[in-house]
Amino acid sequence: MLGPKIECVVSVSGIRGVVGDTLSVEQVLGLAQAFGVAIAHCERVVVGRDTRTTGPLLAQAVSAGLRAVGCEVIDIGVVPTPTVAIAVKEFGAFGGIMISASHNPAEWNALKFFNRDGRNVDHTQLDWIIECYKDPPMGFHRRWDGVGGYREDRSPLDVHLARVLAAVDVAAIRASAPRVLIDCVNGAGSVLAPRLLAALGCKVVAVHDRLDLPFPRNPEPTAHNVKHVGALVRAADADIGFIQDPDADRLAIVDETGRYLGEEYTLVLCAASRLAAAGPGSLACTNLSTSRMLEDVAARHGSKVERTKVGEANVVDGMQKHGAVIGGEGNGGVIDPRVVMGRDSHIGMALVLELLAKAKAPLSEVVRAIPTYAIHKEKIALDRKAVQAAIPGLKSAAWAQGATADERDGVKFIWPDRWVHLRASGTEPVSRIIAEAPGLDHARELAEMVRAATGAAVVEH
Ligand code: MG
């Protein structure tokens, strides 16, 4: 075996660990070599990173590993994750590696692998990388005259910016001249978000947009972690506040009154904007566990929503299959195929600003016009096998009569104004129950009925 045993978290969304603890430089080097051979076929690879202090170190290890197996490296520096996907296609590269642990705290870092299509590697491709890491082929390393080249290129940021600007009604946004507070959490969005907002004619109040400073807080943009941003929005007299995660693929929103909307609203607002522009018959796509507010918004524009299994890759597959004009998940990740086939907070911001410009109304009013639901989530001690075994019993339960059952990802029971979804976690031997209903009591009740029927205990609310 080439490298040290892998003890970090391995999934299609990245290989993550605490640097110097569960993720070492040797592993990163070995994984880059394996990626270079198994996915990039020793050809050109794009490398980007977020602003973590371990980023430059790991970028050097990744570049060294790739070059040692003959890959040509184009280093695009500090960029949002979606910029790497854009650059892979722009440069005709055979793959890309983003060095970022996304919303994880500063001590974490990760490698996120992109294939030639600019998409995250799938499970099969991830297996190839791990196999190649554990058991490298003969002639793995090049001789001195076969080492891959290296160059730096910052132009993909300009391409990314241009694509976002081309996707929205810039004149309408400029005419509305909104005052926008942007919090980049000192992450990779700092290099693009303030620039984009200025190009859209916004009066920009940027906070935590410094590449040289650490994350000012736990960087996941949850209500708890960003509860101070509402006061900043009010103090700045802003029309809206945007909050990015460190690799700028997720977006959370605060309204002009300082209220944190919740990441479920990001996709809903973006879809309202995009579906209005695309016209009747256009499609949105999201996973089975995302709020049904999306159906309500789609119905207003004569549009429909296609649902897929949970996971960004499943949503992207669904979008391509059905020709969706907008997609994403309820975690603040919005996908617009005109920009990139992956989550991007920048097109998210532009679409929301376009929506506000056309509505000529404050954000809180626009949100109030969307039916509200309460979502209840819990984790229960039930593994994948047990979920499958429980489905027939759940379907025959008295309360489930009259509901539509969708069995593509665990089981989801759907009524006209509520739903409950039981699915096995992809990473732990537990399951999640997510319920949405017009009131929190109803949502809890639905979750409880499912839990009681399975006989499983709650692990975490
Ligand atoms: Mg992220």
Q: Is residue 70 part of a domain?
A: yes
Q: Is residue 4 part of a domain?
A: no
What local confidence, expressed as pLDDT, does residue 108 receive?
96
Report which residue type is found at 441: D
Residues 271, 385, single domain; the answer is no
Catalytic residue among 24, 63, 102, 291, which? 102
Q: Ligand 1 center to residue 196 CA distance, Å?
A: 19
Nearest to 284 by CA among 324, 341, 328, 317: 324
Residues 241, 364, single domain; the answer is yes
Residues 181, 131, single domain; the answer is no
Radius of gyration for the alpha carbons in the chain, expressed in angstroms and rounded: 22
Q: Is residue 75 part of a domain?
A: yes
Residues 289, 194, single domain; the answer is yes
Choosing from 154, 172, 189, the residue where a domain stops is 154
Q: Ligand 1 center to residue 248 CA distance, Å?
A: 6
Q: Is residue 1 part of a domain?
A: no
Residues 435, 336, single domain; the answer is no
Dihedral through CA 166, CA 171, CA 175, CA 178, nearest 10? 0
Average pLDDT for consecutive 10-residue bins of the chain (461 residues)? Answer: 68 90 96 97 98 98 98 98 98 98 95 96 95 90 95 98 98 98 98 98 98 96 95 98 98 98 95 97 97 96 96 94 97 97 98 98 97 94 94 94 95 96 88 96 96 91 65
Residues 324, 347, single domain; the answer is yes
How far is C-alpha 352 from the geometric centre of its chain's CA atoms?
A: 17
Identify the CATH number of the domain in which residue 270 sits. 3.40.120.10
Q: Ligand 1 center to residue 247 CA distance, Å?
A: 5
Residues 139, 263, single domain; the answer is no
What local confidence, expressed as pLDDT, does residue 10 receive?
85
In sequence order, what are the beta bridge partners of 17?
A: 109
Q: Ligand 1 center to residue 93 CA distance, Å?
A: 22
> Which residues 6+ apart lie within 8 Å of 180 measured at CB?
197, 202, 203, 204, 205, 238, 239, 240, 241, 242, 349, 353
Identify the CATH number of the domain in which residue 406 sits. 3.30.310.50
Q: Ligand 1 center to residue 332 CA distance, Å?
A: 9
Distance, CA of 243 to CA of 368 (rounded, Å): 21
Q: Is residue 3 part of a domain?
A: no
Q: Ligand 1 center to residue 134 CA distance, Å?
A: 28
Q: How many helices (H) and strands (E) does the chain have?
A: 15, 21
Choosing from 108, 132, 154, the residue where a domain stops is 154
What local confidence, expressed as pLDDT, does residue 1 receive?
47
Choosing from 368, 398, 433, the residue where a domain stops is 368
Report which residue type is found at 148: G
Residues 143, 163, single domain; the answer is no
Cβ atoms of residues 236 and 179 within 8 Å: yes
Q: Is residue 79 part of a domain?
A: yes
What local confidence, expressed as pLDDT, does residue 137 receive?
87
Q: Is residue 192 part of a domain?
A: yes
Residues 346, 416, single domain; the answer is no
Distance, CA of 175 to CA of 292 (rounded, Å): 32
Residues 277, 311, single domain; the answer is yes
Number of domains in the chain: 3
Cβ atoms of residues 240 and 180 within 8 Å: yes
Nearest to 425 by CA among 461, 457, 380: 380
Q: Is 102 annotated in the active site?
A: yes
Distance, CA of 446 to CA of 461 (rounded, Å): 14
Q: Is residue 2 part of a domain?
A: no
In sequence order, what are the beta bridge partners of 368?
A: none
Domain encompassing residue 241: 159-368
Residues 64, 198, single domain; the answer is no
Q: Ligand 1 center to residue 398 CA distance, Å?
A: 41
Residues 318, 196, single domain; the answer is yes
Q: Ligand 1 center to residue 457 CA distance, Å?
A: 31
